[in-house]
Amino acid sequence: MLIESWHDGAVTRAQDNAGGDRDGAGLPRVPSIPLSDEKTVAAAEAADASIGSLVKEATTHLSTLVRAEVELARTEMAKEVKKGLTGGLFFMIALVVILYSSFFFFFFLGELLSNWLPRWAAFGIVFLLMLLFAAFCGFLGYRKVKKIQAPERTISSMKDTAAALRHPGAEHDAPVAP
């Protein structure tokens, strides 16, 4: 990897100067994940590496690569989750503002109806409409909650795993004696 920088009119390369410019300032050290120890690589080349040592080295490289990819995915997901939480917070704030402002809408509706009805009857009608709407929403919520089911596959899998751990040689379908 070549990193070049202009400093005092001269081009410096990161490979030539790992600590920065000639005076120690400038380019920072480039972070990297070492795939293997330099001594191990030199020893393997010197000893004309066997298949076993090559497989071991390849496994080490693959393991390091997988760990780096998992860390990258975790970092990216953390950023996206933060964005999602921030967006959800703004939606919650908007919902609270809408709920508080609905009071003024219902007050307006009551005043509008009071043009044709006595004031107490207009506000009574608005109150009954609000109660009916709340009852309707409560009914819809009740129906949704009533449809919630237990995670049967997970429960079954956990029971099977527990049975297998209690009796390691037993057949899966065989009855378990207490």
Residue 168 in any domain: the answer is: no
The boundaries of the domain holding residue 60 are: 51-148
Per-residue pLDDT of the chain (178 residues; tens, 9 = 90+): 444 444 444 444 444 444 445 555 554 554 555 555 666 656 656 555 678 878 888 888 888 888 888 888 888 888 888 888 899 899 999 999 999 999 899 999 999 999 999 999 999 999 999 999 999 999 999 999 898 888 888 888 888 878 877 876 665 555 555 5
Q: How many domains does the chain have?
A: 1
- The Cα-based distances of 164 to 79, 152, 155, 160, 172 in angstroms read 40, 18, 14, 6, 7
Residue 133 in any domain: the answer is: yes
Residue 160 in any domain: the answer is: no
3-class secondary-structure state, position 128:
helix
Residue 8 in any domain: the answer is: no
